[in-house]
Chains A and B, each alone.
Chain A
Amino acid sequence: MGTLCNHSLDLTGPAGNLESPVHRLDPRAKIVGLLAVTLVAVTTPFEAWPVYLICALVLALVAALAGVGPREIWRRARFVLPLVLVVAVFVPLVREGGQAWELGPFTVHETGLQIFAAVAAKATIGTIAAVLLAATTSFPSVLRGLEAMHMPRLLILIAAFMYRYLFVIVEEAGRMRAALAARGFRPRTALQVGALGRVATAMFLRTYARGERVYQAMLARGYSGRMPQLTPLAFGRADLVFVAAVLVTLVPARVLA
């Protein structure tokens, strides 16, 4: 039962060398460091290519230290990256300026092409930074880091429960889909998808009832509105060194650009 649909969700877990220095960093250090890379890439002017290069090098170094290979990065990035790039791919066609080339029915402009390249670089750097955070830090640790950084506790709780029960709900949805298929449900026309609406309703009611039961189970073990932590986070020297190294490399490059 537990293995029904878990392969795609397993992509959210850590990968690479789990004992690497990067994996062992405090989640706050990784959130700050990788967020800094993203922010620098996003705010850099279109033509400042050396900054993008430095960002890419920092990410490559982190990936190498963590033992997360290009294949693993691609396996995760492919879900996000194409969506971002599809939006940007029209820029060379509409943004005029510089040289122009005829490409069948379209005209490609030089300025547009430059902007596209820069947007693609920003998107790629941001995505890979997020992928590296997810590959070196478990989702619960990321949440604990965010909580320690004073994100609203309610949002953290919602994200934590969503992550925990996603697996349960995906299993339930899989079973209901199997039950529909077992009774010959193969929608051919739009009118037949009504059954899916009823499945969605049933899913909602089940999820709602489960929410009630989970809350009762929490109360039964003395829950009083505050999630207790087993081991407190510790921001040590290695974490400081990591954040400092990232900032010292990127901030001057960004300022000089």
Chain B
Amino acid sequence: MSCAVHAKRLSYSYPNGQPALRDLELHIEHGERVAVLGPNGAGKTTFMLHLNGLVMGDGNLEVAGVDVGPKTLAELRRRVGLVFQDPDDQLFMPTAREDVAFGPLNMGLEGAEVERRVAEALRSVRMEPVADRAPYQLSMGERRRVAIATVLAMRPSLLVLDEPSANLDPRARRELIDILAQIERTMLLTTHDLPLAAELCERAVILAGGTIVADAPCHEILADATLLAAHDLELPGGFDLDLVVPRPRPGQPTTMSVPE
């Protein structure tokens, strides 16, 4: 199954007429991990919502082999897992277990298969011990991991994360990176956390003013301080990009080269 993203001349304006995306052009191939960088208000979250058909603009958008349109939504949402920025938006069931089961049950799965997927998803984010807790009883880092489990349980081919490291303390952030590095999926993540992008993604794009203004290997983009500064981005002071060890892909001993 294809899990590529092909956006051609994608445009969208907010209901008040303010443009959010303008002729956005982005192509992502199977197996890639791409960081979408950009200042606040650049249209990152709006673009993420497009990938799940929650917002529909003009132009062509093909995601995970599905032409995004009103008729393909169910199939699209099955193939694309979207992790929202605020876990409190994503966790709405009484317990973590029921929340993780919500997606698989909506897919029409039953009993043992749902249980299996819930257990597998919670295990992959190391959150089995909190399965029966309510969301408000979890720390922010735990909520984030359960939120990721809720989409992993649907076994999407494309994983989309909006600001995954927002509001996490350093240790929760480190654990999150460890978990994401283990996930074998095409992955698209928006972030202001440039060191996180350097570790996890081999490719980065900069989204500014609703369009892609830079698209290159992650290391190259992050090394270009002028480019970053032009779009209100910067690496943390004293950060040495050359000391970053990119995470190997699961099942692969070394980093994957960037597909051309």
Task: List chain A positions with a Cβ less than 8 A from chain B.
Answer: 1-2, 6, 138-140, 160-161, 163-165, 167-168, 210, 213-214, 216-224, 228-230
How many chain B residues have a CB neighbour from A under 8 Å? 35
Q: Which of A139, A165, A228 has the most CB of B within 10 A?
A: A228
CB atoms of B138 and A2 under 8 A apart? yes
Roughly how many angstroms separate A88 CA and B199 CA in the complex, as a whole number? 69
Roughly how many angstroms separate A2 CA and B139 CA in the complex, as a whole number? 7
Roughly how many angstroms separate A217 CA and B148 CA in the complex, as a whole number? 12
Q: Indicate whether A228 sits within 8 Å of B77 (C-beta atoms), given known contacts A217-B90, A219-B54.
A: no
Contact residues in A for B97 (Cβ distance below 8 Å): 230
Contact residues in A for B89 (Cβ distance below 8 Å): 210, 213-214, 216-217
Residue of A nearest to B136 (CB): A167
Q: Does B82 contact A (CB under 8 A)?
A: yes
Q: Mark B91-121, 1 if CB is under 8 A from A, else 0.
A: 0111101100111011100000010001000
Q: Indicate whether A2 sits within 8 Å of B137 (C-beta atoms), given known contacts A228-B105, A228-B106, A230-B98.
A: yes
CB-contact partner of A216 in B49, B88, B94, B95, under 8 A: B49
Min CB distance, B153 to chain A, in Å?
9
CB atoms of A228 and B101 under 8 A apart? yes
Q: Indicate whether A216 sits within 8 Å of B54 (C-beta atoms), given known contacts A222-B78, A230-B97.
A: yes
Min CB distance, B174 to chain A, in Å?
20
Min CB distance, B132 to chain A, in Å?
10
Roughly how many angstroms separate A214 CA and B88 CA in the complex, as a whole number? 8
CB-contact partner of B84 in A1, A2, A217, A228, under 8 A: A217
Contact residues in B for A2 (Cβ distance below 8 Å): 136-139
CB atoms of B54 and A220 under 8 A apart? yes
Q: Does B151 contact A (CB under 8 A)?
A: yes
Contact residues in A for B118 (Cβ distance below 8 Å): 230
CB-contact partner of B77 in A6, A222, A229, under 8 A: A222
Contact residues in A for B88 (Cβ distance below 8 Å): 168, 210
CB atoms of B94 and A221 under 8 A apart? no
Q: Does B74 contact A (CB under 8 A)?
A: yes
Contact residues in A for B106 (Cβ distance below 8 Å): 221-224, 228
Q: Which of A210, A214, A230 has the most CB of B within 10 A?
A: A230
Task: List chain B positions with a Cβ less than 8 A from chain A.
Answer: 49, 52, 54, 74, 77-78, 82, 84, 86, 88-90, 92-95, 97-98, 101-103, 105-107, 114, 118, 135-140, 150-151, 154
What are 27 A-B pairs at a CB distance below 8 A? A2-B139, A6-B136, A139-B94, A163-B94, A164-B92, A167-B136, A168-B88, A210-B89, A216-B84, A216-B89, A217-B82, A217-B90, A219-B52, A220-B54, A221-B150, A221-B151, A222-B78, A222-B103, A222-B154, A228-B102, A228-B106, A229-B105, A230-B97, A230-B101, A230-B105, A230-B114, A230-B118
Roughly how many angstroms separate A1 CA and B136 CA in the complex, as a whole number? 10
CB-contact partner of B92 in A1, A214, A222, A229, under 8 A: A214
Roughly how many angstroms separate A138 CA and B77 CA in the complex, as a whole number? 32
Roughly how many angstroms separate A224 CA and B78 CA in the complex, as a whole number? 13
Residue of A nearest to B109 (CB): A228
Min CB distance, B228 to chain A, in Å?
29
Roughly how many angstroms separate A8 CA and B150 CA in the complex, as a whole number? 29
Roughly how many angstroms separate A160 CA and B95 CA in the complex, as a whole number? 12
Q: Which of B54, B74, B107, B140 has the most CB of A within 10 A?
A: B54
Residue of A nearest to B87 (CB): A217
Roughly how many angstroms separate A225 CA and B101 CA in the complex, as a whole number? 16
CB atoms of B136 and A138 under 8 A apart? no
16 other contacts beyond A217-B84, A218-B92, A223-B106, with CB at 8 A cut-off? Answer: A1-B140, A6-B136, A139-B94, A160-B94, A217-B89, A219-B54, A219-B77, A221-B77, A221-B106, A221-B150, A222-B106, A223-B102, A224-B106, A229-B105, A230-B114, A230-B118
Contact residues in A for B78 (Cβ distance below 8 Å): 222
Contact residues in A for B105 (Cβ distance below 8 Å): 228-230
Roughly how many angstroms separate A163 CA and B134 CA in the complex, as a whole number? 11
Contact residues in B for A210 (Cβ distance below 8 Å): 88-89
Contact residues in B for A168 (Cβ distance below 8 Å): 88, 136
Roughly how many angstroms separate A154 CA and B137 CA in the complex, as a whole number? 26
Contact residues in B for A164 (Cβ distance below 8 Å): 92-94, 135
